[in-house]
Amino acid sequence: MSKNLTFVKSVWKNFLENSGLEPTLLKGLTLTAAAPGRVTFELELQKEHTNRLGILHGGTIASMVDLGGSLAVASNGLFATGVSTDLNVTYLSSGGKIGDKIIGEVTCDKFGKTLAYTKAEFKDVKGNVFARGSHTKYIQQAWKDERNRVEEMSAYGSNSQ
């Protein structure tokens, strides 16, 4: 397992242990890959992920844009992943129903001293994109966390502000 994936999994574990939303809504989410500025995860859809029509709820997707953005920031070595300043989701199709597996791919396009900008794409197992998102994180305070591993993992180096 790569050091990026190991570190991002430790951040995800911290979310599950200390957050109210993620362990309730996204506990079945599995991280499958992490590299500097990029994470991939899977989620098998359960009833709690759906709306009253029995299809993937838009709020579940929005929560995955938020979490995915945080984990993409973590993939650069920040344990404390900051706070959201902006979140956007574009829904292209329904995304699936109970029992379907969905795949999220999130990248951190800009990783500075104050802000990080991420984008997400969600696909079914056939590779069809059903939603996209973007997420801006305020990370200035996150740089102070003693658990950070930025020097070990970030591919950004000179791109950081």
Task: Give a yes or no: residue 63 inside a domain.
Answer: yes
Confidence (pLDDT) at 156: 52
Which domain covers residue 91, as residue numbers? 3-154
Task: Give a yes or no: residue 138 inside a domain.
Answer: yes
CB 55 within 8 A of CB 91: no
Tokens coding 65: 């844009």
> For the chain, how many structural domains are there in total?
1
Task: Give a yes or no: residue 161 inside a domain.
Answer: no
Confidence (pLDDT) at 2: 84
Task: CATH number of the domain at 52, please.
Answer: 3.10.129.10
Residue 71: left (phi > 0), alpha (psi -120 to 50), or beta? Answer: alpha
Task: Give a yes or no: residue 70 inside a domain.
Answer: yes
Tokens coding 32: 């499958």
Confidence (pLDDT) at 154: 61
Task: Give a yes or no: residue 159 inside a domain.
Answer: no
Distance of CA 86 to the CA centre of its chain: 14
Ordered DSSP codes for 91-119: E-S---BTT-EEEEEEEEEEE-SSEEEEE
Task: Give a yes or no: residue 108 inside a domain.
Answer: yes
Residue segments in the chain with a per-residue pLDDT below the cut of 50: 157-161
Task: Give a yes or no: residue 111 inside a domain.
Answer: yes
Task: Give a yes or no: residue 60 inside a domain.
Answer: yes
Confidence (pLDDT) at 153: 73
Confidence (pLDDT) at 129: 98
Rounded to two decimals, what is the model's pTM?
A: 0.92
